[in-house]
Structure 1
């Protein structure tokens, strides 16, 4: 076991192996098992991070199910998914000068970017051709010790604990980026299909903190209680309301929403979203349905008649993630989560796969 020193007296032991949740039998019958794996060695421009917490995101499920139009994890030699982790830097690459051993750090869905193209220069680096995905093309945050390029590692501010920071690395920054892209203003109506889920419940909080009026859409009393607690002005239960879009229009002054943020992944959520908007309204595509199962759009007559905008938004950038973390540091964004010990990571994955989660699931590597 090596001992790393940051030059200021901070010493951290780095083991040769660590625990990791790994996928077995990729595809519809996948399962996750906890195994010992080698601790990687940082390259010259990398930092080695010891995860304290990782969120469990439905994109992980997609990768393990192989139901997105992407090469499988095994194509890249990756066994551990995960892309929203928080921990501490324990080892530095030989060229790294802007991090110290002991610094708190997080990893996001995008692993890196080239920083030398138009997309990177205009704040869209997550769309860069050289922006691979951690947990798909590189080992992800289900593995306790993972590598991250020093230049694209996220700093975690004081006052934001790891169980809060982890989910914000993906869910919080992603929905922040979508709200920013929408251009909605204080007083506008923001509607969230999937409001009680991991992404949606953070969208509710951020929209409220930005002064918007918020309508949550989800199913069941538990989701309703969560959404109203987090600041929704109204809640529509799709299991009880026959015409969800009609109900949303009634709530939103009879005109419809200024923005509908589809954080759900169902075909019905995407099909009904355009019907909820007002003239000039926007539908923001956030949730990822399995390939070929949903369509975001409507009859062209509706597009014309409503001046309708359909916008796809991706995961948050470095700056988006920083902004979302700042909301958390100010007490305005508080992920609601259930904690699982590392040994129960497979159970957490199965619970999320079943769709029975309000808020987020977080794994504690230290319990």
Structure 2
């Protein structure tokens, strides 16, 4: 096994009381790579809403509660510092900069894997959930599943692409929208939404409508929103929803959008989403609400068959999606709006996330 000097212990952020917003920095043993594995010195890790969901046990879709002592995080970028046996044919070498994604590894043999649906692997390993994640200075990863990072792409900008970027790239690809079509992004100023606007507008040629709170209008417009609708201008009752639907329809010439990609964990966004669509439009489910999600309000057979609507689920993306997303980022088509914070600020970041006060993505600097 080729290697460079690696410390015996390193700093990691662990969830010390899962079910609550609580974590602490600990020193833990630095692992050695096994067969087919590489060891990364991680310098940057994005903070995703999914990390919050895992930490607080807020997702009813996860089969088990998060274990105490779990190292969270799933958007990590760093350099390879050690190679395990059996990696000789991987093309990887010491010093290569690569990323770790939400999906840490897959079996490669089940039906979803064979169909390119990595996140739906029946034996999937998820970074930061029963697999040590990227909120630490050193982490193991399968050599066949890390994503090479282009030389021109800074690590802090690349890190959120490992989940946020690849997730919305995949979702937009599944939306059925064509260049020139209108696409609505609820949650347009968040970590997923601001990337979706850029990829949709600049990379795929869509006309984008952003929906979020007013303080996120400038970011949404900077990222490609041709139209922005401020949620604070609409009440939460049926009248407010109907007015929002009317405004989306008006912005699209009265027809509705070709696609709605839900980039927020809001039940309300799902309840409204189908109403934004035109004939044969597509609702793409991406954001995962906490607790028990409410049914999509208008998801009844009469509405769906009359307008021939589609509802599509999109779980992250596969290895090819990740490579394509990073290629877009390297070309300047999409750029993460990042706020850099030290490891010690993670809880503060989650508290701001709870209140919907984050714009773009927070990235942890793990060097300290």
**Smaller-chain TM-score range?**
over 0.9
RMSD: 1.5
More off after superposition, 171-180 vs 349-358 = 349-358
Partner of 2:27 in structure 1? 36
Partner of 2:237 in structure 1? none
Q: Is the 8 A contact 1:214 1:234 kept in 2?
A: yes
Give the 5 Å matches for 1:28-177: 29-69=20-60, 70=62, 71-74=64-67, 79-97=70-88, 98=90, 99-177=92-170
Q: Among 201, 207, 219, which residue is 1:213 paired with?
A: 207
Task: Find the aligned partners of 2:79 and 2:343 in 1 and give their Cα distance.
Answer: 17
Deviation at 1:350, TM superposition (A): 2.5
Task: Note the alpha carbon deviations across 1:184-204, whole angstroms, 9 max, x for none.
Answer: 110010100000000010000
More off after superposition, 290-299 vs 155-164 = 290-299
More off after superposition, 313-322 vs 62-71 = 62-71
Deviation at 1:121, TM superposition (A): 2.4
Give the 5 Å matches for 1:229-308: 229-241=222-234, 242=240, 243-296=243-296, 298=298, 299-308=300-309
Give the number of equivalent residue pairs.
355
Deviation at 1:297, TM superposition (A): 5.4
Partner of 1:366 in structure 2? 367
Partner of 2:189 in structure 1? 196
Partner of 1:14 in structure 2? 6
Structure 1, gaps ≥5 residues long = 7-11
- TM-score, normalising length: structure 1: 0.93
Task: Find the aligned partners of 2:213 and 2:46 in 1 and give their Cα distance.
Answer: 22
Q: Which runs of 4+ in 1 moved over 4 A?
A: none
- TM-score, normalising length: structure 2: 0.93
Deviation at 1:23, TM superposition (A): 1.0
Q: Is the 8 A contact 1:114 1:120 kept in 2?
A: yes
DSSP-derived class of the 2:105 partner? coil
More off after superposition, 111-120 vs 32-41 = 111-120
Deviation at 1:41, TM superposition (A): 1.6
Task: Find the aligned partners of 1:333 and 1:44 in 2 and give their Cα distance.
Answer: 35
More off after superposition, 352-361 vs 48-57 = 352-361
